[in-house]
Structure 1
Amino acid sequence: MTILIVEDEAIVGMDLAARLDAEGYDVLEVADNGKDALALFKANEVDLVLLDIQLKGSWDGIVTAQHLKQIKLVPFIYLSGQTDDETLERAKETSPSAYLTKPISNVALRISIDLAIHNFAKAKDETSNVKALNIVTKEPNATRESILQIDNFIFIKQSYQFNKVKLSEILYLESDNNYVHIITSSKKYTLRLTLNGVLERINFDKLVRTHRSFAINIDQIESFNDHEIIMGKHTIPLGRNYKDDFMRYFDFL
């Protein structure tokens, strides 16, 4: 996840960046005013914004949030030492994901980011048919992990944080009893789910079942024969019961 920090106090901004980095997040930059923040937001892929209300320049954090929302909707969290009614009312009009008062603990920061991503994905599902995917209670140990989908990305929750994965970079899914391994070109993620459970929750038509224990990203195939599929250094079985469905993805010339 890429996070933009907008904070006018340099020491506070550097401290936040260091804490987020230690949690495994990617901090884009720390901006100290709204106009610089807007420029960074336009030029980069940002997943979440931490936004101080008191900023340098003519825009405060609330005005900055209004400008950011005109470019692209992402979750944002206000940071402030101000708790007066007027500030809170202005802030509420911009529908922030959270409002944290300084000083900010690591636990509060982590929970707020977690909830911000979760609620944002859920809201997008309700308004624009983008899937927000939460593990249902019938899955084993359902409360520990979840998958969220926003456009062409999924966020896989592991070790109390969401990890962003581009759908096109998934190579294959592998079932291991009650677990599923999601393999990308560079990483492996493991969820306590069934393979059917994951396939039902990911809206990506390039994922094709090739075996009772495997589903592949058909765009990542390098070669195949009657029994197996080659994807770089990976060899995936092609089961007899799945071969006909697999071949339907190809045009015969």
Structure 2
Amino acid sequence: MTLPTDSQVQILLVEDEAVLALDLCDTLEADGYRVVGTARSGPRALSLFQQHRVDLVLCDIHIQGEWDGIETATRLQAERPVPLIYLTAHADQATLERALRTGPAAYLTKPATMASLRAAIILALQRFAEPAPAPAPDRDLHTRDTILQLGDHVFIKDNYQFVRIPLRDIQVLEADNTYTTLITTARKYALRLSLGAVLERLRFPALVRVHRSFALNIEQVEAFSEAEATVAGQLVPLGRQYKENFLQQFQPR
């Protein structure tokens, strides 16, 4: 399934070896990521970074031009913080020490395996994003899926990658035993979390619990009655004990 652009993790690739860059682009995009551009030099990388939303930078240390990869990464980070993964064929101590000063999430030696790159991307996003608070100790600690929050977006673990979801796009949460289905304008995601745990981790005030098994985005309610509300054409039941809280979301005029 091809994800909408807004949901894909967007990667800037800084690599001056054309064959390797093409191979990395194909592999990353096959894995569901979107490569916003490939830069062979530092100034080109900076230009692409300024033009696009970039969620992660994958950067070779030894590239063409006056700026090497470390100098390039430093200039990108000065624009705005972003998760950074270095690729290099040279792992000498002096280079490593310079690279570490830029705070990379990973430092991979070429040729990097796809398994190690996948793991590095997930860890980079996980370390960079602001994690939602953990729930009180219960069985969710052993079965929980990862939800990472970054501003008004969250990253949801979907197979082996994180998918970016604007909080405003969440329509309904529907619980089924130990799973909760997160329904957005684009697709559905199954989370191995209770409904209460998902609501606690998302920290999005517009998501209001209206039933033992349902929560909805109050900003996307199209209509409601005594028994149910409609969100994007879906009927969501209003539980008796949650109805008062639901009605309090509306200001009488």
1:114 is aligned to 122
Q: What is the alpha-carbon distance in structure 2 between the residues aligned to residue 136 and residue 180 of structure 1?
A: 18
**How big is the shift at 1:158?**
2.3
Q: What is the alpha-carbon distance in structure 1 between the residues aligned to residue 137 and residue 34 of structure 2?
A: 31
Cα 1:23–1:141 change in 2 (3 A) is farther
- 1:145 counterpart SS class: coil
**How big is the shift at 1:135?**
7.3
2:109 is aligned to 101
**How big is the shift at 1:119?**
1.1
Cα 1:65–1:132 change in 2 (3 A) is farther
Cα 1:244–1:166 change in 2 (3 A) is same
2:246 is aligned to 246
- TM-score, normalised with respect to structure 1: 0.92
Give % identity.
Answer: 47
Query: For residues 186-201 of structure 1, what are the structure 2 equivalents within 5 Å?
Result: 186-201=186-201
1:71 is aligned to 79
Q: CA RMSD in A?
A: 1.6
Q: What is the alpha-carbon distance in structure 1 between the residues aligned to residue 13 and residue 227 of structure 2?
A: 51
- 2:78 counterpart SS class: helix
**How big is the shift at 1:10?**
1.0
- 1:204 counterpart SS class: coil
1:165 is aligned to 165
**How big is the shift at 1:140?**
4.5
Cα 1:45–1:139 change in 2 (3 A) is farther
1:128 is aligned to none
1:32 is aligned to 40
2:61 is aligned to 53
Q: How many residues are treated as equivalent by the alignment?
A: 245
Q: What is the alpha-carbon distance in structure 1 between the residues aligned to residue 170 and residue 12 of structure 2?
A: 26
Q: What is the alpha-carbon distance in structure 2 between the residues aligned to residue 207 and residue 188 of structure 1?
A: 16
Cα 1:143–1:240 change in 2 (3 A) is closer
- On the 8 A contact 1:133/1:149 being kept in 2, the answer is no
Q: Which amino acid is 1:158 matched to?
A: D
2:6 is aligned to none
- TM-score, normalised with respect to structure 2: 0.92
Q: What is the alpha-carbon distance in structure 2 between the residues aligned to residue 65 and residue 34 of structure 1?
A: 8
Which segments of 5 or more consecutive residues in structure 1 lack a partner in the other structure? 126-130
- 1:252 counterpart SS class: coil
Q: What is the alpha-carbon distance in structure 1 between the residues aligned to residue 144 and residue 116 of structure 2?
A: 18
Query: For residues 106-145 of structure 1, what are the structure 2 equivalents within 5 Å?
Result: 106-121=114-129, 125=130, 131-133=131-133, 138-140=138-140, 142=142, 145=145
